[in-house]
Amino acid sequence: MDAISVIRTKRDRGELSPEQIDWVIDAYTRGEVADEQMSALAMAILLNGMNRTEIARWTAAMIASGERMDFGALSRPTTDKHSTGGVGDKITLPLAPLVAACGAAVPQLSGRGLGHTGGTLDKLESIPGWRAHLSNAEMLDVLDTTGAVICAAGDGLAPADKKLYALRDVTGTVEAIPLIASSIMSKKIAEGTGALVLDVKVGSGAFMKTIEDARELASTMVALGTDSGVRTVALLTDMATPLGLTAGNALEVRESVEVLAGGGPQDVIDLTLALAREMLDAAGLKDADPEKALADGSAMDVWRRMISAQGGDPDAALPVARERHVISAPSSGVLTRLDAYDIGVAAWRLGAGRARKEDPVQAGAGVELHAKPGDTVTEGQPLLTLHTDTPEKFEYALKALPGSYDIAPAGTPFTATPVVRERIA
């Protein structure tokens, strides 16, 4: 085998053989295939695609590059959720303890934010003392004692994907659906969960901008999970508008705790419950009532135990940014649009996100929303509040926001897009 022949096969719209796929993934992981050669292959895949057989073999090869976890010793059925990323997407934080409170075990391996999308680990690290990195033994212990764990994937889990993901990010090939699908599913299948619910975002703030692309990605991942013996279902959910009323790390933790306490924005509550029902159903716990577990405080109890088990203090004050800048409504009427991508870029520029994986983030930075589409606003009232520790960032963040919202005359009819748009199983 050699890298050039593999690249030429896909460049010329051919089908990669199982042997070619196994070899190139293994050789790249070992450093035998150079970054520039894998970049060329990734671009050929972006342009020419892969069929289901190729994607399945590519995923299997990435799984085979590392270890596989086993939760067979747990007394509870395992179920997990993965989001393709969005703005204000703090759903994992209330969801994992909620599903655990209903009797399942939730091994949630999460990631960090990059660009305009937020990362679950970055959010949780705003809690004093909380640790993202656990050994496999520590992860199993937290899962066994609390029912839920949210942590970083270990280095031994699909190392080929870790290396390839970093390369795709800097070569303009992130959007390749076969590579997105295999990246997500290689980690989730290697993780060893028995059931998986995929939250595939669609809209301006998502990587999938159209319902057609989101449907293709979701169908591809559901097929990969099903073929590997993992009960898999996907929900296509709206990301035209940010989820909830915050985009930023500590801001989103605070809002998540509000949801666990019985309050919080309705769209966050609705999506949390919809995903919880899917996860519990996939785990065989069809009679569990997540709405009750949210209302009676049992989900909050699991949250507190989970945070404490990972070194965090659930009672500690969360970081608050030193500087604020308020954007007021320029006119009165009905807010009809609030663009998720623009809000995400503003939060990122304020310090809530990173341009490179090694960049630090500000725990208190982000954007607070004072109205959502459909709300009536009055001229001069606060519409957005920008938070940062470094006021010189305001000017750069503000450049992302002209044209990010529309206000129509009072009485203009408005129909909200449902948070869950489709279900694929």
Contacts of 359 (CB under 8 A, 6+ apart): none
- Helix%, strand%, coil% for the chain, nearest 5: 45, 15, 40
**Crossing angle for the helix pair 298-309 and 92-101, to the nearest 10 degrees:** 110
Question: How far apart, in whole angstroms, are the C-alpha atoms of residue 105 and residue 339?
Answer: 35
Helix then strand count (H, E) for the chain reads: 16, 13
Does the active-site annotation cover 186? Answer: no
Alpha-helical runs (H) found in 109-210: 120-124, 136-146, 159-169, 177-191
- Residue 157 exposed, middle or buried by CB count within 10 Å (0-12, 13-18, 19+): buried
Stretch (H or E) spanning 371: none
Does the active-site annotation cover 30? Answer: no
Q: Is 17 helix (H, G, I), strand (E, B) or coil?
A: coil
Q: Is 61 helix (H, G, I), strand (E, B) or coil?
A: helix
CA 244 vs CA 106, 154, 270, 400: distances in Å: 23, 30, 11, 20
Q: Is 233 helix (H, G, I), strand (E, B) or coil?
A: strand
Annotated catalytic residue, options 110, 182, 183, 204: 183
Annotated catalytic residue, options 89, 122, 161, 267: 161
Does the active-site annotation cover 168? Answer: yes
Question: How far apart, in whole angstroms, are the C-alpha atoms of residue 225 and residue 421?
Answer: 21
- Other Cβ atoms less than 10 A from the Cβ of 375: the count is 14
Question: How far apart, in whole angstroms, are the C-alpha atoms of residue 344 and residue 346?
Answer: 5
Give the DSSP letter of residue 78. B
Annotated catalytic residue, options 82, 163, 188, 349: 82
Sign of the Cα pseudo-torsion (128, 158, 91, 177, in order)? positive
Does the active-site annotation cover 183? Answer: yes
Annotated catalytic residue, options 10, 112, 187, 231: 187
- Other Cβ atoms less than 10 A from the Cβ of 370: the count is 17
Annotated catalytic residue, options 57, 168, 231, 305: 168
> In one letter, which amino acid is 65?
S
Stretch (H or E) spanning 336: strand 333-338
- Catalytic residues, by residue number, are 82, 161, 168, 183, 187
